[in-house]
Structure 1
Amino acid sequence: MNSSKTRLEYLFNCYNDKTATKEEEKELFQLLNEATDKELSEILEERWKTTQADSSIFTSETSDKILSNILNRHKAGEGEAFKKRKYWGPAKLLAAAAVLIFLCFGLYFSLPLFTVSEQSLAENEMPNDADPGTSKATLTLSNGKTIVLNAAGKGVLIDDGNIKVNQSDEGQVVYEVVKDKAVPGTAVNTLVTPPGGQYQIVLPDGSRVWLNAASSLKFPNAFTGGARVVELSGEAYFEVAKNKGMPFKVRSKLGEVEVLGTHFNMMSYDDETSMKTTLLEGAVRVKNDRDARVLKPGEQAILNQGGMVKVTDDVDPNGEIAWKNGLFQFNDSDIKLVMRQVARWYDLNVTYEGEIPSKRLTGKIPRDAKASQLLSMLEYSGLKFRIQGKNIIVIN
């Protein structure tokens, strides 16, 4: 084994362990440019196998298919994935190396470090594209006034003597109730995120809510009476302020979640067939007209229209809130579920050309990637896409 290949393997390991210095990262990408096709292929294959053995992200069959697609993407179709490999030219193999690093180590660096592949991936870029979502929303007050929110704005939005609404430097809306001047709970406000937007809000009781794309949250100016009640359409992550004397309730089209003080994620989009509530901390009760179940941390409740509440612990709670932390995370997800998430975040429609693929996807991709970059990542699993106007077309 020559010294440059040994050094490249060493740098790969440092990068994987998050111990690489800035100088070593720079050297790694320089060696990727200088390495021969054969050296890259051998190192990529070894690193991929090691990563999968350590993390068990994919099944062995899926892992082999993805690796083969990376090494053969422009040389063989899916049916030829396990034929003898032919090495690519330097530009395309460098692109494969960058994608492999992105897939294996995506959690360890932000997208700007992905620039090593931009020139090489340019050959495969789609003629149309869409930027990722941003922090944006509209706040409709109880008097009908609408305020456009974005991350750039800050300062006092409302101060009527009873309620003060600020937008913080971090870009979140903060409601403050002036002590002893709470207005009736019938004064309802609505926070709405469009497709391609998300936002954070601190409710009048101090509870914190992260609202995902294409979602809405209705809440009063001040919580009064025996319960704190909000209404959700879409998806949100809640960190509820504790108040044993006033339970916190989240109502949706399919059911209700009741808590005293806890952290949980709730997904109830109109285009999904079920409401899912995932508990990270504390305890919640999920109920509808027919059934009610109490969750423990690490459990998820699935509620279908008119059905019973199903509880499972076969769930990754951190995966369920990956969106809040800037990631798409797919865990054996079918393509239709994946594309619904993609459509909401990029404000695009999805159509299928031919039969809907039966593939299931597992992996993590930063949500600050452009649509074409994300779709390029997904294509390494054997899928094909194109962007046409406001549509993503899945080709089979």
Structure 2
Amino acid sequence: MQAQELLEKYKAGNCTDAEKAIVETWYLKFSKPATELSHDQLEEATDRIWERLPIHDHTEEIPTPVKKSYLWPRIAAAAAVLLVTGIALFIFKSNSPLTDPDLSATANYGAKAPILPGGNKAILTLADGQQITLDEAGNGKLAEQSGITITKTKDGQLVYTVSAAANALKTAMNTIATPKGGQYQINLPDGTKVWLNAASSLRYPTAFSGEEREVSLSGEAYFEVARSIPKKSFKVSTSKQTVEVLGTHFNINAYADEPSTKTTLLEGSVKVKSNAGEDRSMVLKPGQQAALTDRQLLVNYGKEEEAIAWKNGVFKFEDEDLQSVMRSVARWYDLDVVYEGTLPSRQFSGEIDRNSNLSQVLDILSFFKVHFSVNGKQITVRP
């Protein structure tokens, strides 16, 4: 398919979702006046772009074509600008997951049925070993222990309510764990709000006593820490670091299969300290991100939106390699990834709605000269 043909399809409102994402990104990111270019020059430019950004034909059409002719006059100019910059950015958002059972096997990359996105799923383990599957439990009171009432709200949150006598009782340790394809929000006894991403777990006391409030995290979570009176520091321990705060908003990505543990600060102040023997620590300011590896502790800037995009229902990638992108996809769609052949060393940038089904996500990623096939819970990636 030539670029001009794609633009004509867009003008007529006949593009697939993936094709719309390409055209609208050209316009939104790179649009500017191009009066110095003739019509022939614009056509030549868009064709050259298409040669550099291969696309395969899609058979799935938009059920209700949406015409956006008001964008058309400047789309060709935007495409010409893209040629100059050499950047490919794709933005794909969907209002609802695609659940049509009649999708072809090709559209589903070999899957027998559409693979849908994750949702609110988690298991709560109480101090006595009792386990409660939260996505199957009814709303309302789930348990009571050590003067603490545990309640599930109708919007899928887990809330701890402390009674007046709780401080005099012995605290117990609870654990909430999300599977691959799951996420959950919990309100801790001190009022701190925690959002858990997929394949993550949080261990915490049913009441915070003593001079510190401390929890343990595996995986990824976003924290909105409540200030306590009198002031008690709040600590989050992971396998490689400890983060200490008083009252603040931050995200920690501490997955074991990621090359670094990343702590991103949005509000307030946090201190990040390595658990290794060396004295490696830093105090972050809003907008900063600490990236801890086995060898060093670095600071990055401007990563806030990318860090918490998952909490807001979006995959957001900024210059990420294919393996990094696929780790995020595999956690959310509960898949294992296998690689075959020599994969292109490209970097991905853009946004994809986490409410999309898997085939929609793979449609976008396939523009980067990679092929996907799905067999049960395994996805194979080939050049």
With the shorter chain as reference, the TM-score category is: 0.7 to 0.9
1:49 corresponds to which residue?
A: 26
Render the CA deviation track for 1:250-281: whole Å, top value 9, x for unaligned: 00000100010000000101111211000011
Render the CA deviation track for 1:128-151: whole Å, top value 9, x for unaligned: 042211101000011111111117
Contact 1:184 1:222 in 2 (8 A): no
1:274 corresponds to which residue?
A: 260
Render the CA deviation track for 1:105-148: whole Å, top value 9, x for unaligned: 645x5136x79x99998754322042211101000011111111
Letter aligned with residue 294 of structure 1: V
CA distance in 1, matches of 2:47, 2:263: 33
Moved over 4 A (4+): 43-48, 63-67, 69-72, 90-95, 117-123, 183-186
1:182 corresponds to which residue?
A: 167
Task: Determine whether 1:222 maps to 2:204.
Answer: no
Contact 2:225 2:249 in 1 (8 A): yes
2:304 corresponds to which residue?
A: 317
Task: Quickly say closer, same or farther: Cα 1:356–1:185, change in 2 above 3 A.
Answer: farther
Q: Tell which has more relative contact order, 1 or 2 (C-alpha 8 A, sep 6+).
A: 2
Contact 1:185 1:220 in 2 (8 A): no
Give, in angstroms, the shift of residue 369 of structure 1: 1.5
1:338 corresponds to which residue?
A: 325
CA distance in 2, matches of 1:66, 1:226: 64
CA distance in 1, matches of 2:251, 2:203: 16
Letter aligned with residue 365 of structure 1: I
Listed as ranges, the gaps of 5+ residues in structure 1 are 1-7, 13-27, 36-40, 56-62, 75-87
Give, in angstroms, the shift of residue 223 of structure 1: 0.2
1:173 corresponds to which residue?
A: 158
Task: Quickly say closer, same or farther: Cα 1:178–1:132, change in 2 above 3 A.
Answer: same
2:376 corresponds to which residue?
A: 389
Give, in angstroms, the shift of residue 392 of structure 1: 0.7
1:136 corresponds to which residue?
A: 121
TM-score by length of 2: 0.77
Match of 1:347 among 334, 337, 361: 334
Aligned pairs for 1:206-217 within 5 A: 206-217=191-202
CA distance in 2, matches of 1:66, 1:390: 38
| Structure with greater helix share of residues | 1
CA distance in 2, matches of 1:64, 1:292: 50
Render the CA deviation track for 1:155-198: whole Å, top value 9, x for unaligned: 00013470100001110000011123236665210000011111
Task: Quickly say closer, same or farther: Cα 1:367–1:254, change in 2 above 3 A.
Answer: same
CA distance in 2, matches of 1:369, 1:44: 13
CA distance in 2, matches of 1:125, 1:301: 38
Match of 2:217 among 232, 239, 258: 232
Task: Quickly say closer, same or farther: Cα 1:231–1:134, change in 2 above 3 A.
Answer: same
Task: Quickly say closer, same or farther: Cα 1:46–1:172, change in 2 above 3 A.
Answer: closer
Secondary structure of the 1:380 match is: helix
CA distance in 2, matches of 1:275, 1:246: 25
Secondary structure of the 2:134 match is: strand
Task: Quickly say closer, same or farther: Cα 1:382–1:144, change in 2 above 3 A.
Answer: same
Contact 1:228 1:249 in 2 (8 A): yes
Contact 1:190 1:219 in 2 (8 A): yes
CA distance in 1, matches of 2:365, 2:231: 48
Letter aligned with residue 335 of structure 1: L
Render the CA deviation track for 1:23-47: whole Å, top value 9, x for unaligned: xxxxx9xx424x9xxxxx9x99875
Task: Quickly say closer, same or farther: Cα 1:66–1:356, change in 2 above 3 A.
Answer: farther
Secondary structure of the 1:125 match is: coil
Task: Determine whether 1:261 maps to 2:243.
Answer: no
Match of 2:355 among 353, 368, 372: 368
Contact 1:237 1:321 in 2 (8 A): yes
Letter aligned with residue 280 of structure 1: L
Match of 1:246 among 228, 232, 241: 232
Contact 1:348 1:392 in 2 (8 A): yes
Task: Quickly say closer, same or farther: Cα 1:202–1:65, change in 2 above 3 A.
Answer: farther
CA distance in 2, matches of 1:352, 1:118: 28
CA distance in 1, matches of 2:104, 2:48: 17
Contact 2:254 2:262 in 1 (8 A): yes
Root mean square deviation of aligned Cα? 3.6
CA distance in 1, matches of 2:212, 2:327: 34
Contact 1:185 1:223 in 2 (8 A): no
CA distance in 1, matches of 2:103, 2:144: 53
Task: Quickly say closer, same or farther: Cα 1:184–1:152, change in 2 above 3 A.
Answer: closer
Task: Determine whether 1:197 maps to 2:182.
Answer: yes
Q: How many residues align?
A: 334
CA distance in 1, matches of 2:28, 2:365: 19
Task: Quickly say closer, same or farther: Cα 1:258–1:125, change in 2 above 3 A.
Answer: same
2:110 corresponds to which residue?
A: 127
